[in-house]
Structure 1
Amino acid sequence: MTDETTSHDTPADEAPQATAEAHATANGGSDERVAKLEAEVGSLKDQLLRALAEAENIRRRAEREREDTAKYAVSKFAKELLAVADNLRRAVEAVPAETREADQAVNNLLTGVEATERQLLAAFDRGGIQKMEALDKPADPNFHQIMAEIEGTGKAPGTVVQVYQPGYTIHGRLLREAMVVVAKGGEAPKVDTSA
């Protein structure tokens, strides 16, 4: 019986060769598996970097929106206060200079109105609200509402020649358009350059 079992067994010199082949096959399989795992790690790393970049973009966008909200949250309130500034200016301009000089009580009252106007404008300035200067500048439909056109002003067409109501911006963004009158189209006045 021992002879039979020996004839079916692998000879001793063939055993190391079979083990080497099995090891090579196993290594080939593990190299392939390592390559797959490295590819998966690379893909996951790419996804992670993209997710981190997206999270950073969302954070920046939220920060910008928070800053904008803080800057422009008072816009409606500020717009309502512009009417107060307009009325204070109208009160000062409604009294002729002669009346102001002749009546000390009127002069004192107007001095108080002017002081109130200055305080309001200083508060506007601290809040980022600026009055736009429109007079003698080209009309801009983004900032000016043209109420009328006047001929014979001697100014280039489209130049603001009168301001009915001043315009304001808040942190550089339009708060209220200026209501203006502009020089009517036609030929721009010629400037004499010979002198």
Structure 2
Amino acid sequence: MFSENNIDENTLNQQALKDDVSRKEENKLTREESLSDENPDVSSCSLEQLVETLEAEKSELKDQVMRLAADMENLRRRTARDIADAKSYSIASFARDMLSISDNLARALSSLSEKSDDNHTGFKALVEGLEMTERAITVIFRRYGIEKIEAYGQQFNPHFHQAMFEVSDMSVPSNTIKEVVQVGYTIGDRVLRPAMVGVSKSKSQTPIVED
């Protein structure tokens, strides 16, 4: 009796276990079917399509990285150029104002030279002092990249010269600078002030004097 009861219990337990496994399998299949219904693209997407999609995304990301790198390099160059320009041209306004002082000093020296009196010690010392000051200004100008524009005897160049008047002179080519009214200067690659000049012309030449 005891043995038969044990056999029945074992049979019932085995049957219950089988039923439980069957239910779990059915639930698993049901979930998979549900996921398949909710995501039809996933179920239909082949491995080749997935690889193609990933390759396309990789190519797009690579292009974005390359464009970003190019933009950063352009920004670096532009920033370096702006810094260099700032260093070279930040004193342009101040230098332009200093030119008037240099002009006045040159005019004073020219006037004193015409009234030279070598026998007067004080007068001679004054001239020497002014000449030293002029040389010092020239040295300072050069230190900051400020240079005189060579004009006399050169061909007229509207980028560096401003024509104030014309002179008939057949002994030199047309548009040759015959007189410098005011010295011009450059700072770096830029014109700080054009040279004001008088130029030669032939009789048939069209006037180039600027308004």
Structure 1 and Structure 2 fold alike (TM over 0.5): yes
Q: State the match for 1:82 in structure 2.
A: 99
5+ residue gaps in structure 2? 1-42, 206-211
Cα drift, residue 99 of structure 1: 2.5
Among 118, 121, 125, the residue aligned to 1:101: 118
Structure exhibiting the larger radius of gyration computed from Cα positions: 2
Matches within 5 A, 1:8-47: 29-47=46-64
Q: State the match for 2:150 in structure 1.
A: 133
Percent of matched pairs sharing the same residue: 37
Query: 1:98 & 1:46 partners in 2: Cα distance?
Result: 76
Query: 1:44 & 1:37 partners in 2: Cα distance?
Result: 10
Runs of 4+ in structure 1 over 6 Å off: none
Q: Is the 8 A contact 2:169 2:202 kept in 1?
A: no
Select between 34-43 and 92-101 the one with higher mean Cα deviation: 92-101
Query: 1:173 & 1:73 partners in 2: Cα distance?
Result: 12
Letter in 2 for 1:177: P
Query: 1:152 & 1:39 partners in 2: Cα distance?
Result: 75
Query: 1:36 & 1:121 partners in 2: Cα distance?
Result: 69
Q: How many residues align?
A: 164
Q: State the match for 1:116 in structure 2.
A: 133
Q: Is the 8 A contact 1:167 1:178 kept in 2?
A: yes
Cα drift, residue 176 of structure 1: 0.2
For residues 78-127 of structure 1, give each alpha carbon's deviation from its aligned partner in whole angstroms, at most 9, with x where no partner exists. 01101111111111110245623232211110100000110010000000
Q: Is the 8 A contact 2:170 2:202 kept in 1?
A: no
Q: State the match for 1:17 in structure 2.
A: none
Select between 135-144 and 89-98 the one with higher mean Cα deviation: 89-98
Structure 1 vs Structure 2 CA RMSD: 2.1
Letter in 2 for 1:147: M
For residues 121-167 of structure 1, give each alpha carbon's deviation from its aligned partner in whole angstroms, at most 9, with x where no partner exists. 00000000000110001111111110111113622111000001010
Query: 2:143 & 2:59 partners in 1: Cα distance?
Result: 53
5+ residue gaps in structure 1? 1-25, 189-195
- Tell me: CA distance 1:178–1:81, structure 2 relative to 1, closer, same or farther (3 Å): same
TM-score (norm 2): 0.72
1:146 corresponds to 2:144? no
Cα drift, residue 75 of structure 1: 0.3
Q: State the match for 1:4 in structure 2.
A: none
Among 170, 176, 184, the residue aligned to 2:187: 170
Query: 1:98 & 1:127 partners in 2: Cα distance?
Result: 34
Q: Is the 8 A contact 1:157 1:187 kept in 2?
A: no
Query: 2:124 & 2:172 partners in 1: Cα distance?
Result: 36
Q: State the match for 2:208 in structure 1.
A: none
Q: State the match for 2:76 in structure 1.
A: 59
